[in-house]
Structure 1
Amino acid sequence: MSETKHDGAVAVGAVPAPSDDTGLSSAELAAKYGLAVSGARPGLGDYVRQLWARRHFISAFARAKVSAQYTQAKLGQLWQVMTPLLNAAVYYLIFGLLLHTSKGVDNFIAFLVTGVFIFTFTQSSVMSGVKAVSGNLGLIRALHFPRASMPIAFTLMQLQQLLMSMLVLFSIVLMTGEVPTWSWLLTIPALFLQSVFNAGLALAMARLGSKMTDLAQLMPFILRTWMYMSGVMYSISHFAASAPGFVKLLLDLNPAAVYIDLMRFALISSYTAAQLPPHVWVLALGWALVAGVGGFVYFWKAEEQYGRG
């Protein structure tokens, strides 16, 4: 209301006309003035570009995690190599000597150690992925960055550890009598495809682990079962020779077994193409694309939910 004086009388003025924004909803007001929801999920293309722009952060974060992982242990980063070696020693004692799964396998030591190192890469990537979001809520809530950076960084961390361990793996393979050949170069595309597969799996597990707090307790049992089905300590082609066709097909399609088979084929001369599943490189590429792309999209769809609630 406004008051005006005219010839000694007081008159009540007209109420000002309402603003053009009156009656608009909050969504309409935001659209009118170009406002966006804080923390909203960007488009998939924009998300990929944001992730690429932070590639240096991802790499630095992975290196820092590798350096800090064993700071409390006296042997430090030697445990990166000693852990899979000790596992291989235990598996050799139980499966090679006691259960005789070494029968029908030439150069069983190289066969076993290769399987343990390669499966450990996938196993560690999955376990790191489960806790990538739930275990880093302070960082996620404090800074704005693509949340996919975390599981990808943890996968890169596991790859860095594997690459350091590969020197030991190569040494063991050489000590068992193997001679380096051109086939050893196949380890490069095999590890690349497995890394893409592991990253996709870590992304999917990160989204599940952010909501299912008990998943980290359950995963060791799932991964142990997966390991026993992946031919880490026995030859699938030998033990599945008399199995029903669908059982052998499932074992051959197992992605962990596919990547282990490729590495054994590259490093062990007695591990021939006859022991590989049909179209093994197509399978390796297919699993990498399915897990890599599928896991990335699955994680991206919940981007705005991470660190909230």
Structure 2
Amino acid sequence: MSQVIDAPPGPAATPSGSTPTGTPPSDTTPHPPSGTPSPAELAARHGLSVSGARPTLPAYVAQLWRRRHFITAFATAKLTAQYSQAKLGQVWQVMTPLLNAAVYYFIFGVLMNTRHGVEDFVPFLVTGVFVFTFTQQSVMAGTRAISGNLGLVRALHFPRAALPVSFALQQLQQLLFSMCALVVILLAFGVPPTPAWVLVVPVLILQFTFNTGLALIMARMGSRTPDIAQLMPFVLRTWMYTSGVMWSIEKVVAGRDIPGFVKVLLECNPAALYIDLMRFALIDSFHASQLPDHVWAWALGWALLAGVGGFIYFWKAEETYGRG
């Protein structure tokens, strides 16, 4: 007959991980010794920062200025390589805008007769084509500045604004080549040099600032939505047709019953402003009376709005470029 042996009295069994009733659970989480600095304090003590974090705006401007030689060299290299595979090479830098002007002259000047009532129509047209092409190509290049250079963006650490700025600078260099051809055209069509030609310098500075701001804006938008690059040619073509490149805004506005707000939109269109200012500087038959009121104030305002606003807009997304 088996005998049952009672176990000696002791503490009651408790579930795993718990303690007897009335006894508080012990905290097993390790704590650093008193006085040990936190990771943030250690990083600050040793000058460490978050990788890829957006710097302050003044620091960002300083970084960009320190890389000004890289921006200039990169723009020049891109311009030189643009026609490196063509037999005529850099000649195409002048031939391309001239051929565009010839096509526009045939279609608009001859077939549509927009040259009627416009003095020195060929210099008028070529100036408009060259100046608008500067803006057009800056916008297109800016759209692909980040999305088209992801390898460079992900491999090297540098202020990303250097890319759209360098592409705008490349287009300025392209325009300077075209301006050499424009001077020859002006002289060939009997347009004499005048002291007003010095106004070309401030006009180019204002337009370059405006174009750079647009390139920065489009670079941020294009980095998130690459499909914008497919849409922009249609937008830019519409912009060109409303900017007085092939026709005189002043003649059209004066000869038609156009609502007041449409007239203001046409005359204060930034592309049209820079084109008219360049025509006023270079063509002696283009008089100040053909310019809209307060034209220099409008041109400066557009340059500051696009340049400063575009730079800040691009800087705010600095840490996102090349990720994803």
Q: Does TM-score exceed 0.5, indicating one fold?
A: yes
Counterparts in 2 of 1:189-268, with a 5 A limit? 189-241=202-254, 242=256, 243-268=258-283
Give the equivalent residue in structure 1 for 2:68.
55
Indicate if the aligned counterparts of 1:70 and 1:76 stay in contact, CA closer than 8 A.
yes
- Alignment pair present for 1:97 and 2:119: no
1:39 pairs, out of 36, 40, 52, with 52
Partner SS for 2:157: coil
State the one-letter code of the partner of 1:181. Answer: T
In structure 2, the partner of 1:286 is 301
Which residue of 166, 174, 185 maps to 1:172? 185
2:310 is aligned, of 290, 295, 309, to: 295
Distance 1:167 1:190 in 2: 16
Q: Take 1:308 and 1:31, find their aligned partners in 2: how far apart are those partners?
A: 26
Over residues 2-39 of structure 1, what are the superposed CA-to-partner deviations in whole Å (9 max), with x where a residue is unaligned?
Answer: xxxxxxxxxxxxx9x84248999876775676542100
Residues 1:72 and 2:85 are matched in the alignment: yes
Partner of 2:174: 161
Q: Does 1:187 align with 2:200?
A: yes
Q: Percent identity?
A: 67
Structure 1 counterpart of 2:265, one-letter code: L
Letter in 1 for 2:69: H
CA distance in structure 2 between the partners assigned to 1:154 and 1:245 by the alignment:
37
**Corresponding position: 1:271 with 2:286:** yes
**2-side partners of 1:133 and 1:21: how far apart?**
48
Following superposition, the deviation at residue 303 of structure 1 comes to 0.3
Q: Distance in 2 between matches of 1:307 and 1:282?
A: 38
Shift of 1:151: 0.3
- Specify the structure having the higher radius of gyration (Cα): 2
Unaligned residue ranges in structure 2 (runs of 5+): 1-27
- How far residue 77 of structure 1 moved from its aligned partner, in angstroms, is 1.3
- Give the letter for the 2:308 counterpart: V
Is the contact between residue 200 and residue 294 of structure 1 (CA under 8 Å) also seen in structure 2? yes
CA distance in 1, matches of 2:209, 2:93: 21
Question: Aligned with 1:240: secondary structure?
Answer: helix
Distance (whole Å) between structure 2 residues aligned to residue 67 and residue 79 of structure 1: 11
Q: Distance in 2 between matches of 1:294 and 1:21?
A: 49
Q: What is the alpha-carbon distance in structure 1 between the residues aligned to residue 134 and residue 306 of structure 2?
A: 15
1:279 to partner: Cα distance = 0.7
Do the aligned partners of 1:21 and 1:29 also contact (CA within 8 Å) in 2?
Answer: no
CA distance in 2, matches of 1:268, 1:103: 17
Which residue of structure 1 lines up, in the alignment, with residue 4 of structure 2?
none
Distance 1:23 1:212 in 2: 47
- Call closer, same or farther: CA 1:29–1:239 in 2, change over 3 Å: same
Q: Distance in 1 between matches of 2:46 and 2:134?
A: 49
Aligned residue for 2:192, secondary structure, equals: coil
Unaligned runs of 5+ in 1: 1-14
User: C-alpha separation between the residues in 2 aligned to 1:264 and 1:32?
Assistant: 59
User: Following superposition, which runs of at least 4 residues in structure 1 exceed 3 angstroms of deviation?
Assistant: 20-35
Q: Normalising to structure 2: TM-score of the pair?
A: 0.87
Q: Distance in 1 between matches of 2:250 and 2:263?
A: 8
Corresponding letter in the other structure for 1:123: Q
Change (3 A) 1:20 1:249: farther
Letter of the structure 2 residue corresponding to residue 171 of structure 1: V
CA change 1:194–1:19 in 2 (3 A) is same
